[in-house]
């Protein structure tokens, strides 16, 4: 992908926490100029200087791409007024959780629909963005991927039925990691460390270990075994995590619960 594939004009329909984080990183990275973007939101969103803000769509002009950033339950109300206005737009992106490509395509007559699932660290350019819908090698697919590149790792999910699983892992994942860091720090307190120091150590340890895992040729399981010498203290602690696959089973249960809730949201959007 190259910057030349990025849509030249973009409308953001709604600019809440996630869409706002994406917008700020696009502009901060230099990939998108503020004057390329129009935010259409009846509220008072926090947007970068130079980005145009309107309460309703302008009467003239057609953007190269539109991104839906409203709450999923607002989709029908938004579509009533917006769908006629953007009919024929080349690319419609949607970050609506649980709303499938077909549900979007049923409401909007556009060239291509791409479903997008970012996670919170996109605001730092260290996020994960999942894509599904258009063919990755098509013009719309290239445009969607190019726009998302500055946000972090971009991955196409080939089959939409796996999108809910991907959302559970990367979309919901930061919340799970935050919970782990908190529990890790609380464990440090339980074995005698001051609370503030335990939190600093836990946060820095997860940060450093994540960077090592991302940079390593071996998978994290191999790295874990490598630092756990037989009879050593790391091995003793890992024996607890590995006992009857306790940690793996907990994570499977966690992701399954999130995936199933995503599927429930999708069924509601379909009207099942």
Which residues are annotated binding-site positions for NADP(+)?
13-18
Q: Which residues pair with 130 in a beta bridge?
A: 117, 155
Cα–Cα distance measured from residue 244 to residue 242, given in angstroms and rounded to the nearest whole number: 6
Cβ-contact 188, 202 below 8 angstroms: yes
The string of DSSP codes covering 236-270 is: HHHHHHHGGGHHHHHHHHHHHHHHHHHHHHHHHHH
Task: State residue 159 phi and psi, 5-degree precision.
Answer: -110, 125
Cα 14–chain centre separation: 16
What does each C-alpha distance from 80 to 55, 86, 100, 215 come to in angstroms? 16, 11, 18, 47
Q: Which residues pair with 127 in a beta bridge?
A: 152
Give the chain's length.
272
Which tokens hold the place of 44? Answer: 């008072």
Of 124, 116, 78, residue with least CA distance to 97? 116
């Amino acid at each position: 992908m190259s910057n030349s594939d990025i849509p030249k004009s973009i409308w953001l329909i709604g600019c809440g926490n996630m869409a706002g984080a994406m917008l700020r990183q696009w502009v901060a990275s230099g990939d998108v100029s503020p004057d390329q973007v129009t935010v259409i939101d009846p509220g008072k969103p926090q947007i970068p200087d130079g980005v145009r803000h309107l309460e309703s769509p302008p009467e003239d002009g057609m953007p190269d791409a539109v991104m839906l950033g409203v709450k999923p339950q607002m989709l029908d109300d938004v579509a009533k007024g917006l769908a006629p206005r953007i009919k024929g737009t080349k690319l419609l992106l949607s970050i609506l959780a649980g709303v499938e490509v077909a549900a979007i395509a049923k409401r909007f007559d556009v060239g291509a629909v791409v479903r997008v699932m970012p996670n919170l660290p996109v605001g730092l350019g260290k996020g994960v963005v999942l894509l599904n819908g258009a063919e990755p090698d098509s013009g719309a697919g290239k445009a969607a991927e190019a726009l998302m590149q500055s946000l972090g790792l971009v991955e196409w999910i080939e089959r939409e039925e796996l999108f809910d699983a991907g959302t559970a892992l990367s979309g919901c994942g930061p919340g799970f990691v935050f919970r782990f860091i908190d529990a890790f720090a609380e464990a440090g307190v339980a074995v005698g460390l001051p609370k503030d120091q335990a939190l600093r150590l836990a946060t820095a340890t997860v940060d450093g270990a994540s960077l090592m895992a991302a940079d390593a040729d071996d998978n994290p399981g191999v790295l874990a075994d490598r630092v756990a010498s037989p009879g050593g203290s790391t091995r003793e602690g890992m024996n607890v995590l590995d006992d009857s696959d306790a940690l793996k089973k907990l994570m499977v249960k966690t992701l399954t619960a999130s995936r199933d809730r995503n599927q429930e949201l999708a069924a509601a959007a379909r009207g099942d």
